[in-house]
Each structure stands twice: as C-alpha cells, then as structure tokens.
Amino acid sequence: MSGSADRDRVRRSARQIGVWTGVASAIVIAAGVGILVAVILATSRPQGDDRVTAGPRPGGLPVDNPDHVVVDVDRVLPWVIVLGIVGVALLGLIAWFAARRAVAPLEVALQAQRDFVADASHELRTPLTALSSRVQILQRRVARGDDIGDALARLRGDTAAMDDILTELLLAAQADQGPVPTAVSDASAAVNGAVDLILPIAESAEVVLQTEVASGLTVAVPDVTLTRLCTALLDNAVQHAPRASSVVVSARPGSGPGRGFAEFRVADRGPGVGVEDRERIFTRFARGPETGRRRGFGLGLALVRDVATRYGGSVAIEETSDAGTTFLLRLPLATGR
C-alpha cells in the first residue's frame, strides 16, 4: 500500500471513530439524564398537598399552585451517585473500544511489515544458500585450475533470480493484495528454473532431482511467481528427503474435476507427515521435525498456500506415508487451454 493510501485510510478511520464516539457518548449522557429526571419525578411530591401560599388574597386564603413540588434529596442522591458511576464506566468502555479501533490500522500495518520482512527473508534464503554452494564450487575449480565459465554463468543466474524475487515481493506489497495482474508462464521453464536453483542444495544433501513436465503447459501465473512456488516445494522436499534418495517434480494438465488447472506434484521419500500436522504445516512458523540439515522457520509452505490462493489455486498434501509425501499444487491454466 502506498503512503497516500495509508494516510487516507488513517483519516477515514479517525473520522469514523470520532463520529462513533460522539454518538455513543451522547446516547449514554442522554440516557443518564433521562433516568435521573424520571427518578426525580417519581420521588417528588406536591408541596403542601398541591396548595402553597403564593401571596395575600382577600380573606387570607391560600392560593393553588400545583407547579411547586418537593424533592427528597436523600432519595435522589443515591441515584445520582449510581448513575454517575455507571456513566463513567460506560464512557470508559467507549473510550477503550475507540482506542482499539483507532490503533487497528496501525496493527494491520505493523503485521504487514512483519510479514513482508519474514517473507522476503525466507524467499531470499534459498537463493543465498545456492549462491554459497556455487561459490564453494567455484573456489574448488579455481584451486584445481578447471574452467569456471559455467560456474560464473550459474552465479549470474542465481543473482538474477534473487533480483526477480525481491522485485516481485515489492510489487506485491505495493499492490496490497489487490487484483492480481494477468500473466502467462511456461511450466517447463519455471520447473527447470526451480531445479537449477535448488540443485546445489540437493547435491550437498545427496538428493537427486527428477522432472516430468508436459510440453506446452502454461499457467495464468507470472514466471517469477511460479518459479518461487516450485522452488519452495522443492526446497521443502529436499530438506526432508533421506540421503541417496530422489525428489520428483511433475507438471501436467488436470483431468476430471481438475480440468482447467495445471497440477504440479513434488514427491519425496521422507518420513511422511503426521495426521495432526497435515494442515498445521501450511500456517506461518509451523515447523516439522528437524532433519539435521538447514534449519527451517515454517514459512515456505505457508507462502505457497498464500500465493496459490491469491491466483485462484490451491496446495495440499495429496498423499503421505512412511514411504514419502506428495504435495499437489493446482494453478489455473492460461486462457485457451
């Protein structure tokens, strides 16, 4: 959200809170005054049986004046005290509620800031790990006197991927979760890009990456976004895959009820996901058992679900057991498919 939009939102919220507080306070005061007047009328009595001496009259007789009444202070005073205490309590409650409403936009802004920092840190963490692995490979090649052209090209690719990811995160933050732009991306290119990014991490974990992608498959998601989603699922699979095992990523058009969607599956040979964790792992900062490898923070799968939902898709565990887990990511096919 832009700065001007933030200011407009704060001003609008301030006006609403001011009107609401004024109306609520007026109702409380009016109710208190009305109750007090009713008590006074109920406890008052006419002075001298509705007859008072208003002045001399021929014969010295009293003059009728029913407007004069006597109010018993001892009976009214407790009501005044109770109504005062209740009124103060109600106005305090109104002030508390108004304060809560007043800070709500600030709370939303702070939460959005925390989410952006966490998301950006997580999204850049995998490319940074891949960069570190590439640098180590480059150092070994330089020490042996081998050709380093390929390693340098991959380093440039990794830095370009980091730049694309950061740019998309900034654009998403400015869009404030508004309507997503229309885009088309090639599934094969996105999967291959994710595999290239995760490859150094997989090699260090002795995990083999395999791809099975249908040709000509396109989805209505930007290239960078689709690569991010595949990268997050692959990274999660590699972290939980045993050594000397494989992770398979496949993509094909959906069939049956899934027509109109592309289905991306990432399967590992890990220990599986417990029944109690099958939904929890898609929430922020939910972490599974440690694998002894790179420490996770429980953001990857939550980000995948948030982004997939934003583009009209979904992600879920298709199957899981002691033999491994398969994640299913469904995204809308590009128009015309």
Average pLDDT over residues 176-187: 68
Query: Exposed, middle or buried: residue 189 (CB in 10 Å: 0-12, 13-18, 19+)?
Result: middle
Average pLDDT over residues 259-271: 92
Mean pLDDT of the chain: 78
pLDDT at 288 over 70: no
pLDDT at 267 over 90: yes
HSE-up of 36 (CA within 13 Å, CB side)? 17
The winner for highest mean pLDDT among 145-149, 183-187, 192-196, 208-212 is 208-212
Q: Residue 52: its pLDDT value, please?
A: 45
Q: Are 250 and 212 in contact (CB under 8 A)?
A: yes
Q: CA–CA separation, 41 vs 69, rounded Å?
A: 9
Of the listed ranges 23-27, 33-37, 168-172, the one predicted with least confidence: 168-172
Q: Residue 133: its pLDDT value, please?
A: 78
Q: CA–CA separation, 64 vs 50, rounded Å?
A: 7
| Residue 134, φ and ψ in degrees, nearest 5 | -60, -40
Q: How far is CA 96 from CA 10, 21, 89, 162, 327, in A?
A: 18, 10, 10, 45, 46
Which tokens belong to 314?
A: 């979904």
Q: Residue 54: its pLDDT value, please?
A: 46
Model confidence pLDDT, tens digit, residues 57-103: 555 545 445 566 777 777 778 888 888 888 888 888 888 787 777 76
pLDDT at 249 over 70: yes
pLDDT at 217 over 50: yes
More confident of the two residues 226 and 108: 226
Find all residues with CB under 8 Å of 59, minimum gap 6, and list them.
none
pLDDT at 151 over 90: no
Q: Please, what are the domains in the chain?
A: 3-114 (no CATH), 179-332 (3.30.565.10)
Q: At 213, is the pLDDT very low, low, confident or very high (cuts 50, 70, 90)?
A: very high
Q: Residue 53: its pLDDT value, please?
A: 46
HSE-up of 283 (CA within 13 Å, CB side)? 6
- Largest Cα separation within the chain, whole Å, is 136
Average pLDDT over residues 109-136: 71
Relative to beta strand 246-253, strand 208-213 is parallel
Strands of the chain, DSSP E = 45-46, 51-52, 63-64, 69-70, 185-186, 208-213, 218-219, 246-253, 261-267, 314-321, 324-332
